[in-house]
Structure 1
């Protein structure tokens, strides 16, 4: 096959491959948020307390976040398609396990396996996009990827509400099985088998990064549950120290480090990681006070409260692919920076109208603006981060990018939980349990104003953190024209698709 024929075949396979990957990626991200609305039903059905049910989400986030640096490098070594299919199989099987769990302990264990499957899959999606799309089309591809990322994190609560109200909490997991089967068949058929790169694995780096990430993520995720005790702060400090030792170890590794620090010499890669951390923080933290307000203050059902997010999800999904096309032609700072500013403004606006007597349509206006802002953020960040990645480090770079996003999400979860507790106390709201259990009953009249104020004040935290992303994206430099070219090797095979 000539180079021209290979490139033509690769062109034909690019978009089906992207759609196949996006299907699995969508399923992963939905599962990051879908459980929140089902917690009361899980507690009632399995006879669990609030501390136990928190672990249903915490176990998933821990198993998802901790291995990302390692699984990104594994994709470089053994092939992103193989790792993606392995992760998808594990994720789908664990989803069925979650759905048939008869105890809270079994459900937590199943969620660990589900999170690990997600960790195997996630870095491979960005790595494949980086390797099969040329730089001048990567923005369009990342636009689609970004729309999936933006919409999925918002669809989770909506899908969770509908499934819990209609079929029961088990179906928020069981629904993944047919979707996973379709995603697997699509990946086998359309995702190309790309050239692998020989890597010697940095065992000390693997141990230090995994241990550091575990202690840091666990401490941040569970800090509020344990009232930020000395043991939690010790755990966070240990995580930071271990990660510091990990970075020092990587700088002295003269063979092949797990984390190639030269990636951060690319200014845009470093800035995009800062920006996506603030985005992960904001998206995770904004949903909790809004759902508490909708259910406890306004008396909406889980489905009704999740429907508030529809304008945001729809506008993000519609606009993000078009924004992606713009990314290929315009300076990323002129797209991402306005997006961050719009999102911050929309949250301040939302906080201003979150009171017990606001008309629903007044809430939908800032939520719609959030959808527009979302569309202007995901694609430029992903395209800017990956544009100049060397082909043999696509998996490592993708692992770093997704790790920082996930750490941002954990920070957001921990930060908003602590702030809500603090604001409830400051507004004179007694610990009635309503906020913690997410019940759909309206708060008693004597505390409704204070509770509403606490939720609206909490929304200002993600609004402030987004300004970090705004400043980082303002500092983007114009990407070099051309950038790193994609892999044409085995992107298409004249004999047809090759399974991982």
Structure 2
């Protein structure tokens, strides 16, 4: 019997103006947007989750960190699996996995099940997050890739903007469990559209060798240090010391394995580039501060200032709006003037916004106390995020842009993970104190000072070590083909309109 032609176009030649092209962008944007939305709304729901499940502060930390732990530890492996076994296949598996874990979060009878389900969500996120961009890169005609990535970025920005409002409305209305249930119908739609309209693609040169031992060691190392920092809030015990030492030793073992692996998850030679190393250190400082701010801010707004989840969810909407409107211009400005000034000024302005947050307390006014902090903070992020990602990618050969983007994304998420674990300990908040307005207010002030300090340190590092002009990196022949694995097509000598700004803040 004669084989029927496929209704799905072949990879590599799809045009954005076609009907199928629009379906592909929609699938990729909805998939990644689902993960972005989840990260945003969970922070809004934390006080209600704690009250409903009788959770301690440590349990709320793990509600955030269980997801970040598996996501940060496995995201590079997820991209490699897509390249080897099919990007569409791994993306769909990730979407379905994420939905199943979300449903388990929604019906969790206690905080232990919720934390376990969040860890499973992170595994799904590690499969679908790198796949969303990889689908665009592998599917579209080279002339349309930048426009497709721009459309993807814009739709993702809409999801980020809607997330806090939607999360606050759900928490105030039907309840916090619905922020997880919402993922199920969205995931079903994404899987259906992907299977019907997205062509399969893979890297035919991939060997199938995966650095599973590296991924496991990375996750265990992060988990050991995270547990030690979180548990130390209840007192430093022998178990805390054992966990901390084990985490550090596993981290050392991870580096040794990566040095010897023929197919390392983290190619350490990337750090031979001084600029790549410095900008990733700046990323760690910046995203540790951002995660700490967003974790503490929702508790402060709801417990101390008395805002409802809905109002606290939309309180910092100006941050997202400023980034949506002006990030592309900030990227173009950095291209003209070089990365040093944006990477110095951006964190300093963010630090000013964080210090303005110290005005948020009992009886705080949104217009007088919250909005000015949100605007200043948003201006700083707008100056910073797009140039930060562009500089990371421009610091290495174009052929390695995909892995460079993945490393930077993993660094940002690992920094957020450790910040959420460490900041409550450093700020003196533990146990059930997150329900006490006086204790929360005191700890919030300490935490914001620490976060502002991290941002200032990142700015000083950028000022001292980032060059005024990014170095020109020679591309190898056919380098553009390799750019599409996990990152937008980036050429240090050419602007890529609409490229995403990098790891999603908060």
TM-score (norm 2): 0.77
For residue 117 of structure 1, report the CA deviation from its aligned partner. Answer: 0.3
Given the alignment of the two structures, is residue 480 of structure 1 paired with residue 472 of structure 2, yes or no? yes
Structure 2 contact 424–447 (Cα < 8 Å) conserved? no
| Equivalence for 1:405 | 412
CA distance in 2, matches of 1:137, 1:463: 40
| Equivalence for 1:246 | 254
CA distance in 1, matches of 2:281, 2:24: 29
| Equivalence for 2:6 | none
Give a deviation string over 1:168-207, Cα, whole Å, max 9, x none: 1111101112322333345453577243432323454344
| Equivalence for 1:464 | 453
Given the alignment of the two structures, is residue 361 of structure 1 paired with residue 367 of structure 2, yes or no? yes
Distance change >3 Å, CA 264–CA 19, structure 1 → 2: farther
Structure 2 contact 88–198 (Cα < 8 Å) conserved? no
> Which of 405, 417, 421 is equivalent to 1:414?
421
Structure 1 contact 64–116 (Cα < 8 Å) conserved? yes
Q: Map 1:344-383 to 2 at 5 A.
A: 344-351=351-358, 353-356=359-362, 359-363=365-369, 364-383=371-390
Q: Which moved more, 1:409-418 or 1:195-204?
A: 195-204
Distance change >3 Å, CA 242–CA 408, structure 1 → 2: same
| Equivalence for 2:271 | 264
> Which of 229, 232, 243 is equivalent to 2:237?
229
For residue 106 of structure 1, report the CA deviation from its aligned partner. Answer: 3.6
Structure 1 contact 101–107 (Cα < 8 Å) conserved? yes
Give a deviation string over 1:87-130, Cα, whole Å, max 9, x none: 11210222123223344444333222211101222233465677
> Which of 306, 319, 331 is equivalent to 2:313?
306
Distance change >3 Å, CA 417–CA 312, structure 1 → 2: same
**Number of aligned residue pairs:** 466
CA distance in 2, matches of 1:138, 1:341: 34
CA distance in 1, matches of 2:449, 2:142: 37
Given the alignment of the two structures, is residue 219 of structure 1 paired with residue 228 of structure 2, yes or no? yes
Structure 2 contact 397–474 (Cα < 8 Å) conserved? no
Question: Any stretches of 5+ residues in structure 1 without a counterpart?
Answer: 423-430, 492-500
SS at the partner of 1:377? helix
**C-alpha RMSD of the superposition:** 4.0
- Higher relative CO (Cα under 8 Å, sequence separation at least 6) belongs to 1
Q: Which moved more, 1:101-110 or 1:453-462?
A: 101-110
> Which of 97, 105, 108 is equivalent to 2:104?
97
Q: Which moved more, 1:205-214 or 1:397-406?
A: 205-214
Q: Map 1:31-430 to 2 at 5 A.
A: 31-43=38-50, 45-46=52-53, 52=59, 54-125=61-132, 157-188=164-195, 189-190=197-198, 193-199=201-207, 200-202=209-211, 204-220=213-229, 222-253=230-261, 255-326=262-333, 331-351=338-358, 353-356=359-362, 359-363=365-369, 364-387=371-394, 396-421=403-428
For residue 79 of structure 1, report the CA deviation from its aligned partner. Answer: 4.0
